[in-house]
Amino acid sequence: MASSQQTVYISGYVAADQPGIHAFTFDATNGTLTPRGSYAGVVAPSFLAVHPNKLWLYAVSETSQQDGRPGTVWAFRVSSSSDATETWSIEPLNQQESGGDWPCHLAIDGTGRWLIASNYASGSVSVLPILDDGSLGAMTDHVQHHGRGPHPERQEGPHAHSATFSPDQRFVIIADLGIDALRAYAFDSTAGTLREQTTIATRPGAGPRHLAFHPDGRHVFVSNELNNTVAVYAYDAASGTLSEQQIVETLPPDAPVSAVADIHVSPSGDRVYVSNRGHDSIAIFQIGSGGQLTPVAIRSCGGLCPRNFAIELGNGFLLVANQESSEVAVLSVQDASEAIGETISRVTVKGASCVQFAPAHS
């Protein structure tokens, strides 16, 4: 059972002289967030990844050569006191270039030895080793995508938006919004290299952004940013291939211009949650046999532009990073058809973009 006191890290789009990485304690008994500390010094730390040992934290700096700042990944050591004050500290370890422009996503493999950065603007991904002290070593592999999609503005070239390890860690699936592709790579965990395995074309103009595996390891759910859908795929663990099973829309018929963002499967494997930016909502689907999705509800995200969200470890709350209203809203998970309730609490985080849980320190 998850602890009632959980550590959560939140980041946002800020300038280097503004606090952009924050630590909170989340109380799962009442849904409140208590600030523990923050860190300034990173430009646009729009995505975070917590190491499995909970001692190290990694952040992108979503910048580009055009701005005079190559995209980078920062490594930090984090710690908290065991006394009643629960103070928090963060120590920068080092930084490495991400190998492209506008890095927007990080993924750590199950061994905790490798980190993959997805570079949106460049349409590339890079592999960085995590060294014994938590710092990042020199890049061990770099993969560049090519091509374009039908959208004249958003798909003028490749845009790698996320990397996801398969449950057995043998493959990495890259969602490339710009070329309408899910590209699977075999991952060599000894050398830290990627070898292209297969490419799965999405619907033209779909714009795949993020994906989430079902706990059974046999189904994958993909958020398609540009056509506002979720795609369900059957996953073959032996070959790393995906077979499309279903496409469902995330918006009501009268919705304004909107764009899908994040997607997560509940820890119990019974629901899929998807965020809609523009409609400013969370779409909830029930997962049936064979991974089939049935719409349950579309509920307010508690703010404006829900870029990213996280499911609390005990499956009782959603914490939503609402970028344009610069806040994180805490929503309760409901068993009834409403699926999620009204906002229970909220905290101000400038340009809120990412929420990542880590088990509370003992």
**Which parts of the chain register pLDDT below 70?**
1-2, 81-86, 359-362
| Whole-number percent of the chain with pLDDT over 90 | 92
- Give the model's pLDDT for residue 4: 87
Going along the chain from its start, the domains and CATH numbers come out as 5-358 (2.130.10.10)
Structure token digits, residue 52: 């499995």
- Give the model's pLDDT for residue 361: 46
Rounded to 5 degrees, what are φ and ψ at 351?
A: 60, 35
pTM: 0.96
- What tens digit of pLDDT does each residue of 21-47 get? 999 999 999 999 999 999 999 999 999
- Give the model's pLDDT for residue 89: 93
- What tens digit of pLDDT does each residue of 86-96 get? 679 999 999 99
- Give the model's pLDDT for residue 139: 98
